[in-house]
Structure 1
């Protein structure tokens, strides 16, 4: 779980430039980043809404860890 200060910075970046907030949370070569980038290109407000949803509502700890060992 990320610290409250890191989450605040991600939210501020998500409001100013949505793909940057997603990049800080998930990385630059992820599906979340690409979705946010496309939504931001199509419209700034949908990009902000998706970025805030992905940062505040999606549990990133669920997706981290040994995903590849679970499949084996």
Structure 2
């Protein structure tokens, strides 16, 4: 299930980067930044979106392995992507 969701998320992000950011980070500052970057140029929107997705999946993998990051990833405002908060009422 993880590979399929990541694959479809990457396909969506290639077509329209803000939708991929919304799927990972939700509605917040990261989405607004990505929309503005996509308006300014299609490539900066992609770079930002793929950076968010990469950090999200890297931290998700590390949490499963028992590694908890003390520092926040630079340039990311979403707690969901940072992995510091709880998700859906469960403790990671």
Could you tell me the TM-score, scaled by structure 1's length? 0.74
Aligned partners of 2:12 and 2:19 also within 8 Å? yes
- Structure with bigger RCO (C-alpha 8 Å, 6+ apart): 1
Aligned partners of 2:55 and 2:82 also within 8 Å? no
Offset, 1:61 = 6.2
Q: Counterpart in 2 of 1:48?
A: 46
Offset, 1:63 = 3.6
Which of 30, 53, 59 is 2:28 aligned to? 30
Summarize the Cα distance change of 1:5–1:30 in structure 2 as closer, same or farther, 3 Å threshold: same
| Count of aligned pairs | 64
Which of 76, 83, 87 is 1:62 aligned to? 83
Cα RMSD after superposing both structures: 2.0
Structure 1 CA distance for aligned equivalents of residues 25 and 12 of structure 2: 13
Offset, 1:31 = 1.4
Unaligned runs of 5+ in 1: 67-72
- Local SS of the residue matching 1:64: coil
Offset, 1:32 = 1.2
